[in-house]
């Protein structure tokens, strides 16, 4: 129901870039936050923010409006968060919660730069814009964690992490994972071309297969799903054996996730 999140005041979205816009669109789509309860701070005009304004959200009001805020959602680039947040901090009330969707910026770092407000970190995917995202959540504060869940569960499949140190790995798997699947799909289409398909046909088949596989997956055991398609001695099993030869698929993904984890930590 619209406005169902009880944050103790307006929800302030700081930053309306690609991820911030996706979050905003998801809130409006799922009616998680009523537009009248939204304050959006953005240095430039964004279509998602303008759509929210048309429904009653406030865009770049005087900073005094932040004294009412229940939660401040930081959706800016990690490299600039300090310069963005510093002017806001004097206006925040004692009960506000800081919710960060910035990769790599830890809660102790945020606390050092902002102050003593409760902090919850959330790493969502841009699929939240369609109400079909994924979000990893961590907080040492129960109320802050509850707010994070309330803001994201309506538009994402969420997991609550036991330790903040796991956030970088969760980000590397889920936050970055869609790009890995897209890259695999592109490579699959090119492999189809190498085997004789024209480019357009290979592209349609690869994309449609990814969508079909996602729709069919559900919560079933992954090995069981593979087994339904890969008959012993069949062509699918031959392809899977090629993928797994000398452990190269596992090794490649281990290296991929590890590289993303390293970069997340560097950005923080």
CA–CA dist 83, 90 (Å, integer): 13
Classify domain 11-175 at the CATH class level: alpha beta
Q: Which residues are annotated as a binding site?
A: 42, 75-78
Half-sphere exposure (Cβ direction) of 125: Cα atoms closer than 13 Å:
20
CATH 3.40.50.720 residue ranges in the chain? Answer: 11-175
Q: List pLDDT tens digits, range 217-248.
A: 888 999 999 999 999 999 999 999 999 999 99
Residue 6's pLDDT band (cuts 50, 70, 90): low
CA–CA dist 52, 201 (Å, integer): 39
Classify domain 177-267 at the CATH class level: mainly alpha
Higher pLDDT, 28 or 175: 28
Q: List pLDDT tens digits, range 37-91.
A: 999 999 999 999 999 999 999 999 999 999 999 999 999 999 999 999 999 999 9
CATH 1.10.3730.10 residue ranges in the chain? Answer: 177-267
Mean pLDDT, rounded, for 9-14: 96
Q: Which residues are annotated as a binding site for NADP(+)?
A: 42, 75-78
């Amino acid at each position: 129901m619209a406005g169902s999140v009880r944050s103790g005041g307006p929800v302030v979205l700081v930053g309306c870039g690609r991820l911030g816009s996706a979050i905003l669109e998801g809130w409006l789509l799922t009616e998680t936050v009523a537009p009248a309860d939204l304050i959006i701070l953005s240095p430039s005009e964004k279509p998602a923010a303008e759509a929210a304004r048309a429904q009653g959200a406030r865009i770049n009001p005087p900073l005094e409006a932040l004294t009412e805020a229940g939660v401040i959602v930081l959706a800016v680039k990690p490299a600039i968060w300090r310069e963005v947040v510093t002017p806001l901090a004097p206006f925040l009330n004692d009960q506000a919660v800081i919710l960060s969707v910035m990769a790599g910026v830890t809660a102790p770092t945020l606390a050092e730069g902002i102050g003593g407000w409760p902090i919850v970190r959330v790493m969502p995917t841009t699929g939240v814009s369609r109400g079909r995202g994924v979000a990893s959540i961590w907080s040492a504060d129960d109320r802050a964690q509850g707010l994070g869940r309330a803001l994201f569960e309506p538009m994402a499949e969420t997991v609550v992490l036991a330790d903040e140190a796991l956030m970088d790995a969760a980000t590397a798997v889920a936050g970055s994972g869609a790009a890995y699947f897209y890259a695999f799909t592109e490579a699959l289409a090119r492999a189809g071309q190498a085997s004789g398909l024209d480019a357009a046909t290979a592209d349609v088949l690869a994309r449609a297969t990814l969508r079909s596989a996602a729709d069919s997956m559900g919560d079933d055991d992954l090995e069981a799903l593979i087994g339904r398609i890969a008959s012993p001695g069949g062509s699918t099993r031959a392809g899977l054996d090629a993928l797994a030869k000398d452990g190269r698929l596992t090794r490649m993904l281990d290296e991929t996730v590890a590289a993303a984890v390293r970069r997340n930590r560097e950005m923080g």
